[in-house]
Structure formats: C-alpha cells, structure tokens
C-alpha cells in the first residue's frame, strides 16, 4: 500500500504571485498533470495534503485548489495549516476532511481502511504561525492511538513538534511532550508533517518523523541564527529573521509512504518541472512592489 503526501501549495485565488515571486497556480497545474500521468501501478491508495493550501485562507484560493485536486486519479484528504481556515475546510471539503461531530471544529479524523492507518490531527492555533495540541485534540488522539496499537500508522500534522535547526521555524509547539507521550504508546508509528517546505528525516525521542517538501516554494536550508556573525549587512537591513524564512523556486517535491511487510518506507521525490531555482526570496510581501 502506498500513500502520497503533498504539501504547502500556498495558492492564491486572484492570479497573483505568492510572496510576489511564486506562481502557485502553475505549480498546482503541473503537479496535477504529473500525478494524472503516473502509471496505474505507481498510483497510491490516496493522497494526503499536509496544509497551507491557500495563501491567506482565501475562499477563491480553495476553489481553485479544489478544481485542481479533484482531477487527481485517487482520493485526497486534507490537513489544515497555519495559512488555512477551518470553516472553509468543513464547508468546501466535506468528503476530503471527514471530521466527526465530537471533535469539530478541529480537523481531526482517521482513515482506517487499508493496511496502513492514517490519523490526521489539527495542530493549528488561531492567528498563529506556530502550532500545538489543544486539550481536546490531545484527548481525541489519546483515544485513537490505542485502537490499533500494532497496525502500521502514519500521523499527519502540519506543524512539526521537534527542533528543526532552522531558527525562524523553531517556534513553540504547545504540548509537544504530551504529543510525544501519546505517540510512544504506539508500536509502529511515523509522524508526517508539512510546514517546513523541505524534506527532513529525524528521530524525535525515538519516534520516526518526516517533513514534506512544498509543491510551490522550496525552503532555503540555512542554519544561521538571526544574530549570527555570518549575516550580511544587506540581510540585516532586510530584517533577516534567521534561517528558515526564505524559499527558492525549485521543482515541487512530495513523499511516497510505502508499506513493505510491516515496515513503512518513505521516499522523497521531485516533480521535474524545469523550475528556475531562483532565490532565495523571503516569505514576505514588500510594500511598494506589486502584490
């Protein structure tokens, strides 16, 4: 069984470039076309989209995204990111976010058919860039994780709870220790996150974790802190926040989670779109420049 994880479209619904540089609509179209051309034996059971679907959480962005993703040759399921709006998910993607009443408005649900179990959890905090678990989501997950303690399981979130080494992305994650304790109750689990716009593989207190590259903007992997002596004058004048706050226009990336026996392998993949690899550009809008 295979599951394909895609992430961080940051789609704008008004035809403008995201962060004044990224043609996110083109990235969506190229991605959908690529997956539509996959051989049938390469197709996954389903896709999981780990958040930051529409830039600024605009309804027009979700409409465009839905038009694109609806063409995918397999079902898709969505996870909310810090740029998203829960209301739109529940209203516009009911079959792609099958959330039960007891956990609403949080976008949490499980996909239990198939030899891999997927658990989708909502780590978003209203108006915040960083993530975490609320008590309600933590209690829900505590109940779910023990249902099938031995079945290979993927837990999908937008925010990673672990230190990434990219200073601008290393913010608080509320109740990270509680999440770790919950995941440790499972014998065969992997945490699969978005948000980082780059592929990372780590072991967080013994729990295997991965992050997915972005479809639209690849993170510049830069470990310098805000006050590093290596920050240039030009960067300081541009309000450099530390590494992890700039992207380049690389080819879209995605992950394949593939079950072999009882073992889940994760493959990091690229979609060859002939991207320019220009950048790095900051994740911000400059006043005075056309947005």
CB of 10 to Fe ion, least distance (A): 6
CB of 258 to Fe ion, least distance (A): 25
Cβ-closest position to Fe ion? 52
CB of 196 to Fe ion, least distance (A): 8
CB of 6 to Fe ion, least distance (A): 12
Binding site for Fe ion (CB under 5 A): 8, 52, 81-82, 195
What does the angle CA 51 – CA 54 – CA 55 come to, to the nearest 5 degrees? Answer: 110
Q: Which is nearer to Fe ion, 8 or 45 (CB)?
A: 8
CB of 129 to Fe ion, least distance (A): 7
Q: The tokens 């309600």 sit on which residue?
A: 136
Q: Which is nearer to Fe ion, 82 or 110 (CB)?
A: 82
Cβ–Cβ under 8 Å, residues 118 and 156: yes
Q: Which is nearer to Fe ion, 117 or 195 (CB)?
A: 195
CB of 190 to Fe ion, least distance (A): 20
Q: Which is nearer to Fe ion, 16 or 184 (CB)?
A: 16
Q: Which is nearer to Fe ion, 186 or 248 (CB)?
A: 248
Q: Which is nearer to Fe ion, 74 or 129 (CB)?
A: 129
Q: The tokens 């540089």 sit on which residue?
A: 21
CB of 83 to Fe ion, least distance (A): 6
Q: Which is nearer to Fe ion, 217 or 264 (CB)?
A: 217
């Amino acid at each position: 069984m295979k599951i394909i994880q895609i992430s961080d479209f940051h789609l704008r619904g008004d035809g403008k470039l995201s962060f004044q540089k990224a043609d996110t609509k083109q990235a969506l179209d190229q991605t959908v076309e690529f997956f539509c051309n996959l051989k049938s034996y390469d197709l996954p059971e389903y896709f999981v989209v780990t958040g930051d679907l529409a830039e600024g959480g605009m309804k027009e962005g979700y409409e465009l995204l839905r038009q694109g993703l609806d063409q995918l040759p397999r079902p898709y399921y969505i996870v909310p990111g810090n740029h998203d709006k829960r209301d739109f998910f529940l209203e516009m993607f009911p079959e792609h976010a099958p959330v039960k009443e007891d956990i609403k408005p949080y976008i949490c649900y499980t996909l239990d058919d198939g030899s891999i179990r997927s658990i989708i959890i909502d780590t978003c905090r209203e108006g915040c860039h960083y993530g975490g678990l609320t008590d309600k989501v933590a209690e829900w997950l505590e109940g779910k994780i023990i249902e099938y303690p031995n079945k290979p399981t993927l837990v999908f979130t937008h925010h990673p709870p672990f230190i990434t080494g990219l200073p601008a992305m290393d913010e608080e994650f509320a109740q990270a220790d509680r999440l770790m304790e919950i995941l440790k109750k499972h014998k065969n689990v992997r945490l699969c996150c978005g948000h980082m716009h780059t592929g990372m593989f780590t072991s967080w207190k013994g729990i295997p974790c991965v992050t997915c590259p972005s479809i639209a903007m690849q993170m510049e992997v830069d470990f310098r802190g805000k006050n590093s002596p290596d920050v240039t004058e030009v960067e300081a004048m541009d309000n450099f926040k530390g590494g992890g706050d700039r992207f380049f226009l690389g080819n879209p990336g995605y992950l394949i989670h593939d079950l072999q026996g009882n073992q889940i392998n994760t493959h990091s993949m690229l979609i060859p779109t002939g991207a320019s690899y220009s950048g790095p550009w900051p994740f911000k809008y400059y006043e005075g420049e056309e947005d």
